[in-house]
Every structure is written in structure tokens, then in C-alpha cells.
Chains A and B, each alone.
Chain A
Amino acid sequence: MDFTIILQAGIASGTVLLFATIGELFAERSGVMNLGVEGMMLIGAMSAFSTTIATGNPWLGVIVAMLFAGLISQIHAFIVITLQADQVVSGLSLTFLGVGISLVLGEGLSKAGTVSLLPNFSIPLLTLIPIIGKIFFTNQSILVYFGYLLVPLSWYYINRTRPGLHLRAVGEYPSATDALGINVFRMRYFYVFVGGMLAGLAGATISLAVSPGWFSELTTGGQGWIAIGLVIFAQWDPIRAAVGAYAFGALRRLILDIQGPLVLFGLANPFYYNPYLGFFLQMLPYLFTVVVLVIGSREAMRKRIGAPAALGNPYIRGERGK
């Protein structure tokens, strides 16, 4: 087994998680938890794939995916921001809705033939860096490179720009932010929309780049939920989110690839000769998410850092005694 190839593929698969995680991170920073990531990703994957089939243009597929998922996210935004309902329950219902809609609209898509995918390319010069060049900059999808840009940009946006300052304030202390003339409701709608668009992009990344095609619910296979777990692990920081997302991507690849070779580390590969042991490998990403949550939660408790203070609470304006 060549680990650089696994890691190279892992980065690509981690890009899916990266988009979804950063999207959720933006929404949560503004104070809205959106548990509908899985549903929005499915919507994105389905609409990207079907648009590409219909038009032959994968870029159009990406745009439709982002817009459709962003639109779906606004249902959640309306329910929790305007109607002030419980964010957990609303997010769950959005997942149901997203899964249902993508299944209905994606009917028959799995039998569709091949489509034109997003381009892969290498970055000249950077590929020459030993190991790193091979893993990060050789024959990756354009979306992977976009992911590399998204991480520092997100960090800079949140921590060093005026809108980022407002975003941080809205999630921590909405009434104070409102008092200074920042429209809390509009900001929250906006960042939920951003979260939805990035979840849609994550879906499109699956169906048009990482594992092309439409396989109904199996297309995402719970990655939306892993992304929500990663936000907690990342402590709402884009850089940590990237580390988590790529690590998970690599793990997912490793699990797929470890079952292939006859010989593993000089021994007969038990996963090759007893394929049913592979089910234990399948559990790993999910178990690992739980482990990551335990680590993240303990660290947060120790350092007394936590979620944005207003996360999960509706903002009610002009309430008496506030």
C-alpha cells in the first residue's frame, strides 16, 4: 500500500467534510445550529448530479446544488429565527425533508450514465515538494484547491474583518449587537444560507468529484452528521476544522483501501481473506467521531471555552427586562 496515494485520496474525500463543517461553523457562529446538514448535502449531491446530466455542464451543477441547498436551509432559518422554534427539532426535520426531497427528485438518477465531471489538475512546481506535493497538489479536483483557499479565508474573515466581527458578536450577544444597529435576524438568515450553500457544495463535491454518481442516501452516508461533530471538535475554528476534516477523509480512504491488498505489513491481510471483518472497519469513522467528541468536549470543559454563547437560543427582540 502506498500511503501517499491513500492520503491524496483522503484529502479529496476530506474536502467534502471540510465544506460541510465550515458551512455549519458559520451558521453556529451566528447562533444557529442547523442539524439538517445531511439533508442539505443530499439535496446538493442530487441536484448537482441531475443538473449536470441535463445540461452537461458540471459548473452549472455546482451552482444549482449550492442554491438549492441554500434555499432549503432558509426553511430552517424561518422556523428558528422568525418562529423561534427549537433548533434541534427543526434541524432534524430539515434532514428528513432533505432526504425525502432528494429521493423524490433523484428517482432514476442512479441509472443515469456517466457525466462530465469537474476537472482535476496538478499545480506546477508545488508538485515537486517531496510527499506534500504528491498528497496535496497532484491531480486533485479543482474543488480541493478551492478548499485550501476556503480555510485561511474563513479564518481571516471571522477574525480580521468587520463582517466577521459582527458575526462573532451576533453569536455571542445578539441583543447587544442589535442595539448597535446590526440586524441580528438578517445576519442569522444570511449565515444559515451560507451554511446551506456550503453543505450543497459538499454534496456536489461527492457526486461530481470524489465518488461520482447518485446512490440515494448512501451518497452521503452520514457525513453531514460527522461534520456537525467536527464543528464541536474544531471549537468553532476553521483551521481546526480543516485538520479534523482531512484526518477523517484520510481515515475513510484508508478503510476502503485496506481491504484490497493480499498482504498487509508483511502478513496475510485478514480483511481480504475475511471480508465480513470489513464491517468493523466501517464502524471506525463513526466510532472515531464519538472519540473526537469526547476529546473536544473534555478540552472545552477544561479550558472553559465553548460554543458561541447564544448558540441554540432564538433572539427575541424588545423582550421586557432584557
Chain B
Amino acid sequence: MTEQSSSKSEVPLIVEMRGIVKRFPGVLANDHVDFKLLHGEIHGLLGENGAGKSTLMNVLAGLYRQEAGTIFVNGEPKVFSSPRDAIQAGIGMVHQHFMLVPSQTVTENILLGLDDPRFFLRLPEYDAKVAALGERFGLKVDPRAKIWQLSVGEQQRVEILKMLYRGVDVLIMDEPTAVLAPQEIEGLFVTLRAMIAQGKSVIFISHKLQEVSAIADRVSVLRRGVCTASGVPSKGVSRQELARLMVGREVVFSIDKKPSNPQGVVLEVNDIYAENDKGLPALRGVSLNVRAGEIVGVAGVAGNGQSEISQVISGMRQCKQGQVLLNGDKVSNRNTLFGIQHGMAYVPEDRTHVGSAPNLSITDNVIMKNYRKPPISHNGLLDMKAATRLANELKTAYDIIVPSVSTPVRLLSGGNLQRVILAREISGLPAFMVAVQPTRGLDVGAIEGVQRLLLAQREAGAAVLLISEELEELLSLSDRIYVIYEGKIMGEVKVEGGETDEGLVDVIGQMMTGTPLDQIQKEGAVAQ
């Protein structure tokens, strides 16, 4: 019966997935999903965060095993019990988080798991092979370099090389542009097209509409584990249509925002320099300020120093130079306690590893910032009744859906956990709040809830610094936006009235790729 799967169109199907079901505890990630990949195409796989795109592709790449459904490669049914099986069938995946061993060289990473060399490594011989392969596909990288010495873009090239070296015909790219600057994205697209020209096929996973319409020949869309569009030619479908397929309703971004009424400066960051965890410079002279009653955004491609800014401000990272003032008091290079005691709230990027204690109860988690003072503690002793009361109040006020406040927070969903953290941070009535990626990984309803909470803070007169990689979110919430690139502020723009302005997006985009604002303005003046 296999002829049916390969005979319909003139271009042969290289991969077909039929009726794939994959369940995780508590979630149905893929619900009878069908997927077809033609030979020699770039196939965009669209969907929101958590729609099941990566899960589906992890099944195809042999990393997960489906509960039901069948995979055909070139018409043959296949069972993959490991990624190795998938690679043998010609299917390789480049994951969003690179799977490279930092302490090893490029060649060593590429040779990992292969049968050749058999025992002795003989690296110089293989360095030459890797270099030649890179040449062929326009993927330039030094085979002898250690991974930790490479930039993110170079690491991605190593990942692609790793798959090409294994001779895969189908390359799955999971959100490949999330970590790249726009020029690098262009470079990636060139590479992908070169691969198509040499007979490969590509699956391109993304949640960004523009990119998919720019690169893909055909598009499939997933929504909450269900396939809502399968193999639609990308030229024949409008972005609005795709967006509706992705989220299930017309995308209208209209959060009511009152006009801003900023008061005095609350947070002042003066020319700070700091290093990242690897000891490399991450911030090079960042200055910005936030006034009471406004939300100030920080935009930028991931990994340009955003995390480090929030860490220096909150006191979790030392800075080499410069200082951070909170209402005139120096908070940088002190401990986190000083900021907490002077009205700073911090919603960290990493909710499970920084923002919460997973095995402790909700009650223990909500008193993290205020356990030092009444009513939670008196003379060094905790008042557990008062703490439980507070936790129950917050549970009601912030819609935390959980049977009891004694539940350990590791059992909460992402959205509920974020509400616990926001409840804790906001209930301290902060004068200043820094929030990093507060909506990442949440579902649509939860995102709106979190955004409303941030706006409520602004209305209440707090100063809010919002660090996000979602430009739309920044545009709809912020009053001003700073753009950061390689640890430097490229410029600052005002957001008027909440309407999205094409010109504004364009300017921000240019700054995100490393053009300072004054240069953009100068060129703009020349052009006019």
C-alpha cells in the first residue's frame, strides 16, 4: 500500500508522517499529526511556542518515540529508536539549543558518534575533510577551534556541518534564527538555498511569520498539537491567514494603555561594564534610566547582554566599572539584599532555576522576599499562619490554579509558576521592577494576563524595565525602548500612543543589527 504515499504528486515525497501522537505527562503534544515533505523543498513548520512543532520534529529525528502513527522515508515505513537511526535514514536535526560539547574542537564534535575513525582519532586528517565540506556548502569555520571559542552563528554552522558530514538528505532546523542577528539570518538563508541546489530538503521550524514566508516553499501549521494547515504553498497564502491558523483567532494586539505620565527618575544605570559567565565582556558601557510610572523596554537579539543587565541591576552579578543607582542609592556591586530592601522587584528570565525553589511549597516561595519582616516573621521566628494567609490571598488575587498552597512549585505549569513569581514580586509594592522575558513559553491567555499585570504596575506609579526578545510585546507595552547590541546601547526611541509604526520597527531592526541610532538618523537626513 506504500505506492499511495509516493504517487500523488510528480515530485516524490521524501518524508511522510502519518497520524503521529505524542503525549507528555499532562499534555497531548501531537494529536494525530500528518506531515509531508517533498524532495528538494524548504518546508516551513509554523506554530506558537508550545504548539508541538519541536516535538513532532523530535519524533522525526528519532529523539522521541511516538505513541501512535507511522513515519515513511522515501515510501518505506521506518521505526526510529534513536537519532542515529534517523540519521541513517538520512534525517538530521539542528536543535534550538546546540548540542555541541564546548570543550572539544569542531572536528571532534563532528566525529562524535561515528564509526570512522575506528579507534585512533588522527585528527589532522579529518580536519581537512571537515574544511573541504564547509567549503562546498559555504559554511566557513575553523575545524581546530574549540566550540566555546566560537560565536553562536559559527556554532550553528558546526551543527549543520555535523549533519551534512553524516550525509543527511533532510535537515530539520529548529528555530534557527532565534539566536542570529539579521545579517547572519541572511547568511543562513543563502546556505539553506545552496543545500537545496545540491539536492537536500529542509524543514524550517519557526514561530515567525515573515521568515517562513521569506524562505519556505510550502508551509505547515500546528496549533496546540493539531495540524491546521498542511503543505500550503507559501506564495499563495497571506500572512493574516497563516497567523489565524497559528493562534486560532485574528491577531489583534490591542492592549489598552493609558498615556504615560512619567515622574522622577527611579533607576539610573551609568556606563556599566560587566563580564558574562565565561569571563568575556558582555556589557560595554551601558547607560539607561527608568522613571516612575513608565515601562522602558530593552530590545535586542538574544545573547547581546540583556541577561547581564538585569543581573547587574539586581545585584546578582558584579560589574567592572560604572554604577547603578536606585532612587539615588548605589545598588550595583552590593548584594541582592540591598536592592530588595530598597524596593526592587526582579522577575528573572529563568523561572525554575533562579526565580523559585522547586521542592518548597507555594507558601515558602511567596515569602522569599519578605520573610525578614513582619507580618511574616517576628524576632527571627516565622509566623507560618501569616505566611499561609498571604499565600492564599495571592492565590486568589493572581488566579494561581492549584489545590493547595502547600503544593511544591515544581508541580505547577509554566503560567502558574510565573503568576506565583509575579504575585510575590508585585505584592511587595516595588518602586522599581525589572522583568526579563516575562511571557516566554506561556500560552496566549497567560501572556495577556502577565502583560496586564505589568501595565498595572506602571499605572500604580512603579518604574518598570522590561527586557524582551519579542519586539511586538515591547512595542505594545513600552513607553520608551532602548536597543542593545553586543553589550552596547545603540539608541533609544519613544513609542507613541501604542500604534505600530513601520518606520519605528525599521529603525529598531537596524539598531538590533548594530547600527547606532545617530548613524541611522544621519543617513536618513542624507536620503531626504
Assess A/B contact in the complex (Cβ within 8 A): yes
Q: How far is the CB of B217 from chain A (nearest CB, A)?
A: 27
Taken together as a complex, chains A and B put the C-alpha atoms of A318 and B103 apart, in Å, by 24
Whole-angstrom distance between the alpha carbons of A320 and B63 in the complex? 11
**B100: chain A residues within 8 A (beta carbon):** 173, 176
| Contact indicator per residue, chain A 144-170, by CB within 8 Å of chain B (1) or not (0) | 000000000000000011111110110
Question: Does residue B278 face the partner (Cβ distance < 8 Å to A)?
Answer: yes
User: Are A165 and B111 neighbours in the complex by a CB distance under 8 Å?
Assistant: yes
Q: How far is the CB of B170 from chain A (nearest CB, A)?
A: 16
Contact A172 B119 (CB under 8 A): no
Check if B87 sits within 8 Å of A165, measured CB to CB. Answer: no
Nearest A residue (CB) for B95: A179
Cross-chain contact of B117 among A162, A175, A176, A179 (Cβ < 8 A): A162
Give bound CA distance, A180 to B278, whole Å: 26
Q: How many residue pairs bridge A and B at CB < 8 Å?
A: 73
Q: Is the interface of A mostly helix, strand, loop or mixed?
A: helix
Report the Cα distance A309→B100, complex, angstroms.
Answer: 13
B120 near A161: Cβ-Cβ < 8 Å: yes
Taking a contact as CB atoms under 8 Å apart, the answer to whether A172 and B112 are in contact is no
Q: How distant is B350 from chain A, measured CB to nearest CB, in Å?
A: 12
Interface presence of A124 (CB below 8 A): no
List of A residues within 8 angstroms of B64 by Cβ: 318
A162-B118, A165-B121 are contacts. A177–B102 as well, Cβ < 8 Å?
A: no
Does any Cβ of A come within 8 Å of B83's Cβ? Answer: yes
A302 to B279, CA, bound (A): 11
List of A residues within 8 angstroms of B84 by Cβ = 180-181
A163 to B117, CA, bound (A): 10
Say how far A291's CB is from chain B's closest CB, in angstroms: 27
Give the chain B neighbours of A180 by CB distance below 8 A.
Answer: 83-84, 87, 99, 112-113
Given A162, A173, A318, which contacts B99 in the complex, CB threshold below 8 Å? A173
A117 to chain B, nearest CB (A): 35
A165 cross-chain contacts in B, Cβ below 8 A: 104, 108, 111-112, 121
A97 contacts the other chain (CB 8 A): no
Contacts of A320 in B (CB 8 A): 24, 27
Query: Which residues of the partner chain A approach B111 to less than 8 Å between Cβ atoms?
Result: 162, 165
Q: Find the residue from A161, A168, A181 having the highest chain B CB count within 10 A.
A: A181
> In the complex, how many angstroms separate the beta carbon of B179 from the nearest chain A beta carbon?
16
Is the C-beta of B260 less than 8 angstroms from some C-beta in chain A? no
Interface residue? B82 (CB, 8 A): yes
**Shortest Cβ distance from residue A237 to the other chain B in the assembled complex, whole angstroms:** 13
Instruction: Tell me the B20-69 residues at the A interface (CB within 8 Å).
Output: 24, 27, 61, 63-65
Q: Which residue of A lies closest to B26 (CB)?
A: A320
Q: Taking the nearest CB of chain A, how far is it from the CB of B383, in angstroms? A: 33
Chain B residues whose C-beta falls within 8 Å of the C-beta of A304 in the assembled complex: 278-279
- B113 and A168 within 8 A (CB): no
A173 touching B113 in the complex, CB below 8 Å, given contacts A165-B121, A304-B278: no
Measured CB to CB, the closest approach of chain A to B221, in angstroms, equals 22
> Which residues of A lie under 8 Å from residue B104 when comparing CB positions?
165, 168-169, 172
B101 interface residue, CB < 8 Å from A? yes
Is A182 at the interface (CB under 8 A from chain B)? yes
CB-defined contacts of B278 to chain A, threshold 8 Å: 304
Residue on A with the closest CB to B99?
A176
Interface string of A296-322 (1 = CB under 8 A from B): 000000001000010000000010101
| Distance of A322 Cα from B99 Cα, bound (Å) | 10
Residue of A nearest to B148 (CB): A304
Give chain B residues whose Cβ lies under 8 Å from the Cβ of A322. Answer: 97
- Residue on A with the closest CB to B87? A181
Shortest CB distance A86–B (Å): 13
Interface size in chain A (residues, C-beta < 8 A): 24
Q: How far is the CB of B415 from chain A (nearest CB, A)?
A: 15
CB of A179 within 8 A of CB of B83, answer: yes
Q: How far is the CB of B10 from chain A (nearest CB, A)?
A: 35
User: What is the CB-to-nearest-CB distance from B163 to chain A, in angstroms, rounded to a whole number?
Assistant: 10
Q: For residue A319, which residue of chain B has the nearest CB?
A: B24
Q: A58 → chain B, closest Cβ, in Å?
A: 32
Chain B residue contacts of A161, Cβ below 8 A: 119-121
Q: Which residues of A contact B99 (CB under 8 A)?
A: 173, 175-176, 179-180
| B113 contacts across to A, CB distance below 8 A | 166, 177, 180-182
Per-residue interface assignment for chain B, residues 66 to 95, with 1 indicating a CB less than 8 Å from any chain A CB and 0 otherwise:
000000000000000011110100000101
- State the CA gap A304–B103 with chains docked (Å): 12
Which residues of the partner chain B approach A175 to less than 8 Å between Cβ atoms? 99
Chain B positions within 8 Å of A182 at CB level: 112-113
Are B119 and A163 touching (Cβ within 8 A)? Answer: yes
CA distance A165 to B109 in the complex (A): 9
For A182, give the chain B residue with the smallest CB separation.
B113
CB nearest neighbor in A for B97: A322
Question: A173, B121: Cβ atoms under 8 Å?
Answer: no
**Which chain A positions have C-beta within 8 A of B24?**
320
Max chain B Cβ within 10 angstroms of own Cβ: one of A166, A168, A173, A304? A173
Q: Bound state CA distance, A161 and B82, in angstroms?
A: 24
Task: State A5–B99 Cα separation when bound (angstroms).
Answer: 52
What is the bound-complex CA distance between A81 and B268, given in angstroms? 49
Smallest CB separation, A165 vs chain B (Å): 6
Whole-angstrom distance between the alpha carbons of A180 and B81 in the complex? 12
A165 to B110, CA, bound (A): 11
Closest B residue to A165 by CB, please name it. B108
CA distance A173 to B118 in the complex (A): 22
Q: How far is the CA of A56 from the CA of B65 in the complex (A)?
A: 54
A168 contacts B117, CB within 8 Å? no
With a CB–CB cut-off of 8 A, which chain A residues contact B27? 320
Chain B: CB-nearest residue to A175:
B99
Inter-chain CA distance A127–B97, complex, in Å, is: 56
A172 adjacent to B117 (CB under 8 Å): no
Name the CB-closest residue of B to A156. B120
CA distance A160 to B278 in the complex (A): 26
B63 cross-chain contacts in A, Cβ below 8 A: 179, 318
Whether the Cβ atoms of B101 and A172 lie closer than 8 Å is yes
Q: Judge whether B101 and A176 touch: CB under 8 Å.
A: yes
Chain B residue at minimum C-beta to C-beta distance from A173: B101
With a CB–CB cut-off of 8 A, which chain B residues contact A162?
Answer: 111, 117-121
The CA-CA distance from A177 to B101 in the complex, in Å, is 8
Listed by A's residue number, 11 A-B pairs whose Cβ atoms lie within 8 Å are A162-B117, A165-B112, A166-B113, A168-B103, A173-B99, A176-B99, A177-B112, A179-B95, A180-B87, A309-B102, A322-B97
**Nearest 4 interchain pairs by C-beta:** A181-B84, A180-B113, A176-B99, A179-B83
Which residues of B are at the interface with A, using a C-beta cutoff of 8 A? Answer: 24, 27, 61, 63-65, 82-85, 87, 93, 95, 97, 99-104, 108, 111-113, 117-121, 278-279
A contact residues vs B (CB 8 Å cutoff): 160-166, 168-169, 172-173, 175-182, 304, 309, 318, 320, 322
Known interface pairs A178-B82, A179-B63, A181-B84; 9 further A-B residue pairs with C-beta atoms within 8 A, sorted by A's residue number = A160-B120, A160-B121, A162-B118, A165-B104, A165-B112, A180-B112, A304-B279, A309-B102, A322-B97
